[in-house]
Chains A and B, each alone.
Chain A
Amino acid sequence: MIIRTPKSYDLKETSVTKEDIYFNRRKFLKSSLAAAAGGFLGFCPSKNLQAELQQLSYKTTKWGKTLKPSSFEAITSYNNFYEFGTDKSDPKKNSHLLKPKPWTIEVAGHVEKTGIFDFDDLVEKKTLEERIYRMRCVEAWSMVIPWIGVPLNKVIKKLNPSSKAKFVGFTTLKDPTQMPMQNTNILDWPYVEGLRIDEAMNPLTLLAVGLYGKTMPNQNGAPIRLVVPWKYGFKGIKSIVKIEFLSHKPPSSWNIQAPQEYGFYSNVNPNRDHPRWSQKKERRITGQSGFAALFDDKIDTLLFNGYAEEVAHLYKDMDLIKFF
């Protein structure tokens, strides 16, 4: 047996190019270049992972005829949806994990038609209407959003609650595989909200299934969410899986989190400051970015977000400072 000590000029076995790479060297070069380019592209905004939105047919209404809606980009890139992250850009990035189809909603409590409903059975496609509403966030910014949906009172009438139903409670989906932040305990999951039955029956209250004429983007609460335009935005619970008719006041998530800051009613009220900031004015987010948006004048916040004519009677004789 010959024992051969490698000479200094000998090539090591490992430095030999593999045969298949050698014969496919052009392809190898191309794919490496593509990978490198892909690395660079990683710095660019990622492509939209969201499912394609479907066009909806709907009838227009008188609501918000004079308002100028915020841009689609603004409405879908600046969201508070803590199930997908606490930064306002997180829901757009992470909500592709949500599967809004198929979707069922449980109806329970003091109501004739209880059970599990398919989303399409609860909201009839042919009854959809567009409502352009102001949306005032409790954080002192606002938008104008052209929602597509059905008045909640139409759905409630169909379900036929009994006289014992004094409140309506809503629950968001709880599934950490679809909503990753539910793996943390930053809020008490699932998100819950509630309305008094007369608030729920008010013609303004909407079960929204879309915006800008199309199905609801995931980051805005697909496939179905609540819109209560005279209340702060967080009352508009998203991705609803349960509607319950109750004789007692249901819990609401932000009230559980910080009861001294967020009340059950949470009506928009410029005279009742949030403990940490003033509610007198708001920044209207139009979709304009850059310096123009930076130096845009704030606008006055209106009592009940400008819907006093429609809803003030619900709270007559009530101290709105005490019942905030």
Chain B
Amino acid sequence: MIFRSTAKLILFIIGLAPLTWLVTALTCDSIYGTILMSVDPVQKLNRELGDWALIFLMVTLSVGPLSKILKRKNLIALRRMLGLLTYFYAVLHLTSYIIIDLQLDWHEFVKDVTKRNFIILGMTSVVLLTPLALTSNNISLKILGSKSWKKLHYLVYPAAIIAIIHFFMMIRADYHRPIIYASLLFALLIYRIWTIEIKNTKIISRFRSKI
């Protein structure tokens, strides 16, 4: 028990480190005139927040398979925190776009959300992650029951696919980074499907042996 909560505390601190760094860098730039966040911090900040949302999303999705491969079940205990960190950075990414980039220009916002596909996809991904973040607590798990809770949380996969397409669409020339994310997600999906198949065949064979 102590191990789990210490691990969670460490994870929480690590999870907030990127944001702490971004704010520190901006503060340094403001006070000392350095350019840690470039001379265009609007773009830099937004990109960094988006990157971190994707990184945490990938780590969250890797926890399940990793715990099985490494045979360390207690890793699963960290998944909720990772998921919430993902959502935290995704919301910050969206907020920085609306407040800092668009400067709360709602006319432009409506135009973006209705006309520009990559923004529609980005927003969709955040919308899909919202019920997951809201139900990432024990009470919701109890109310929903573990089966429907699990079903709901499968939404993370369409959200991840859409987020990566969103990343692909905002690139102009160099696709190597979204390709890395897409390959990782592909591998994770294959693993999922594969393990589900194994489970099913086990169930089937158990069923057969009963007959």
What is A's interface to B at a CB cutoff of 8 Å? 70-71, 73-74, 77-78, 82, 86, 88-89, 139, 141, 184, 186-187, 257-258, 275-278, 280, 283, 285-295, 297-298
Contact = CB atoms under 8 A, between A and B. Distances in A.
A187 B175 CA distance: 11
B35 A77 contact: yes
A141 B40 contact: yes
B173 A289 contact: no
Contacts of B31: 290
B42 A73 contact: no
Nearest to B39: A74
Nearest to A45: B34
Nearest to A137: B40
B108 interface: yes
Interface stretch (B54-62, B111-119, B137-145): B111-119
B26 interface: yes
Given A77-B35, A292-B30, A285 B116 contact: no
A189 to B, nearest CB: 11
Interface in B1-36: 26-31, 33-36
17 contacts: A77-B38, A186-B174, A186-B175, A187-B173, A276-B118, A278-B111, A285-B39, A285-B40, A288-B39, A290-B26, A290-B27, A290-B29, A291-B27, A293-B39, A293-B41, A294-B45, A294-B100
B77 interface: no
Nearest to A254: B172
B169 interface: yes
Interface of B: 26-31, 33-43, 45, 100, 103, 108, 111-112, 116, 118, 169-170, 172-175
B103 A73 contact: no
B173 to A, nearest CB: 4
A181 to B, nearest CB: 8
Contacts of B118: 276
Given A275-B116, A277-B116, A298-B103, A290 B37 contact: yes
Nearest to A80: B172
Given A187-B173, A277-B116, A78 B38 contact: yes
A188 to B, nearest CB: 10
A277 B116 CA distance: 7
Q: Which of A184, A286, A294 has the most CB of B within 10 A?
A: A294
Contacts of B111: 278
B174 A297 contact: no
B100 A290 contact: no
Nearest to B111: A278
A69 B157 CA distance: 48
Contacts of A186: 173-175
A224 to B, nearest CB: 24
A241 B42 CA distance: 35
Contacts of B103: 297-298
Nearest to A277: B116
A280 B27 CA distance: 30
B38 A88 contact: yes
A217 to B, nearest CB: 15
A86 B178 CA distance: 14
A283 B41 CA distance: 11
Given A82-B173, A141-B43, A186-B173, A295 B100 contact: yes
Contacts of A187: 173
A53 to B, nearest CB: 19
Q: Which of B39, B43, B108, B172 has the most CB of A within 10 A?
A: B39
A289 B108 contact: no
Contacts of A139: 43
Given A77-B35, A277-B116, A285-B39, 18 more contacts: A88-B40, A186-B174, A257-B173, A258-B172, A276-B118, A276-B169, A276-B170, A277-B112, A278-B112, A285-B40, A289-B30, A289-B38, A289-B39, A290-B27, A291-B29, A291-B41, A293-B41, A294-B41
A141 B41 CA distance: 12
A86 B28 CA distance: 25
Contacts of B39: 70-71, 73-74, 77-78, 285-289, 293
Contacts of A292: 30
A139 B29 CA distance: 23
Nearest to A257: B173
B173 A293 contact: no
Contact of A276 (B30, B41, B108, B116): B116
Contacts of B108: 278, 280
Nearest to A139: B43
B109 to A, nearest CB: 10
B118 to A, nearest CB: 6
Contacts of A257: 172-173
A89 B38 contact: yes
A186 B29 CA distance: 32
